[in-house]
Amino acid sequence: NCGISRAVISRGGEILQLTSEHRPNRPDEKQRVENGGGRVDESTNTVDEFLPTSRAFGSYLYKQYVIAEPEVTAVGRDPRDEFLILATAG
């Protein structure tokens, strides 16, 4: 995933979160943004008081610190898998 998106799977009646969102308040994302020259506003939880995500496709003005590199998770299929939900805020 990249940005504010989420993947969850129902396996045997339990929901498993497969991804985590790229939010500016996540410690590793905050450090990466700041190391790239960006600023994380903790009161609004945004990058440069504008972007609510620390990773995104097409954010040309912020490309020095808002990267488009996704985090990839591989999960094997299981006979107990019931459904998969992929969702995004954008």
Tell me the pLDDT tens digit for each residue of 43-87. 999 999 999 999 998 888 899 999 999 999 899 999 999 999 999
CB of 41 closer than 8 Å to CB of 48: yes
Whole-number pLDDT of residue 59: 83
pTM value? 0.82
Nearest to 11 by CA among 86, 61, 75: 75
Quick one: average pLDDT of 27-48? Answer: 96
| Number of domains forming the structure of the chain | 1
- What CA–CA distance (Å, rounded) separates 85 from 14? 13
| Residue range of the domain that includes 79 | 5-88
